[in-house]
Structure 1
Amino acid sequence: MKIIRSKDFTASRAWGALDIASMNGISTRLHWTNQPYKWHINDGEEVFVVLDGIVDMHYREAGTEQVSRLAAGDIFYAGIGCEHVAHPVGEARILVVETAGSV
């Protein structure tokens, strides 16, 4: 049994993470960041949930860059092959569910 207060979580570096669970090859991690990530394509599907803060999610659709602003409670689903990068606006706490070891 584990209770995690996401608003209390910080990391020593941007995108530092707290491993919450690993189930059947799927990892669930809580990330803290105040810096953008990098453009990437995951090894599988990804569920990205903003728990605290605001994140501008950049993604490419048919070769065109799009941006969606995500607030606390918003969920971004990246299907297989979806190129994307998250840009927090200030500090953000994000729950990420993806294939273990994914980028």
Structure 2
Amino acid sequence: MSNDPIALTEALGSFDALWSPRIVTRVNDYDVRVAKVEGEHLWHAHDDTDEFFLVLDGDLHISLREPEGERTVHLPRGSLFTVPRGTEHKPHAPTGAALLLIEPTGTPTVGDRHDPVPSHVDATTGHTLDLCPRPPHPHTHSPAGA
């Protein structure tokens, strides 16, 4: 993990994979992850932890199976929502979204109980963010004497 500030736009620009979160930092025993999503995830539940979603860009819908029945919450850009532990849920983003997620380190993206994992969903506990230094733009000039 970096001891330097992390620009979320740079972090999100460093990968293209959908439904494949990157760990940008850790806070105590929690991962702070960013993800790009589009289309549907899968029905799943985290038995021992809540799951925090913050929509950085786009729109996210989260369908929930609750004791009162099924409902869907809509999260436009700038909205956040916490799915309570044990609640079956299915995130989906018809037009795409960028997310910030907070979960205990080691939490699988497909939860503890889940439907069959489709090929477009990365069943992971998060990937390390790789912010490689980018080469300077070819038209960038170094200061004289550098």
TM-score bin (small chain): 0.7 to 0.9
Local SS of the residue matching 1:89: strand
What 5-or-longer segments of structure 1 have no aligned partner?
none
Task: Mark the CA change 1:27 to 1:87 in structure 2 (over 3 Å): closer, same or farther.
Answer: same
Amino acid at match of 1:48: F
Other-structure match for 1:22: 26
> Number of residue pairs matched?
103
Residue in structure 2 matching 1:90, options 95, 98, 115: 95
Identity %: 26
| Regions of 4+ moved over 6 Å | none
Local SS of the residue matching 1:101: coil
What 5-or-longer segments of structure 2 have no aligned partner?
109-146
Which is higher, the Rg of structure 1 or of structure 2? 2
CA contact (8 A) 1:17 1:32 kept: yes
Local SS of the residue matching 1:77: strand
Q: C-alpha displacement at 1:6, in angstroms?
A: 3.0
Distance 2:101 2:56 in 1: 10
Higher strand share: 1
Q: CA RMSD in A?
A: 1.9
Task: Mark the CA change 1:28 to 1:5 in structure 2 (over 3 Å): closer, same or farther.
Answer: closer
Distance 1:92 1:77 in 2: 17
- Counterparts of residues 1-103 of structure 1 (less than 5 Å): 1-6=4-9, 9-10=12-13, 11-42=15-46, 43-62=48-67, 64-103=69-108
Q: C-alpha displacement at 1:77, in angstroms?
A: 0.6
- TM-score in terms of structure 2 length: 0.63
Q: C-alpha displacement at 1:95, in angstroms?
A: 0.4
Q: Give per-residue Cα distances to partners, 1:53-88, cap 9 Å, x unaligned.
A: 011110111162101111011111112212111100
With a CA cutoff of 8 Å and minimum separation of 6, indicate the structure with the bigger relative contact order: 1
Task: Mark the CA change 1:40 to 1:22 in structure 2 (over 3 Å): closer, same or farther.
Answer: same
CA contact (8 A) 1:7 1:52 kept: no
CA contact (8 A) 1:32 1:91 kept: yes
CA contact (8 A) 1:14 1:35 kept: no
Q: Give per-residue Cα distances to partners, 1:10-48, cap 9 Å, x unaligned.
A: 533221222111232211100011121111112411111
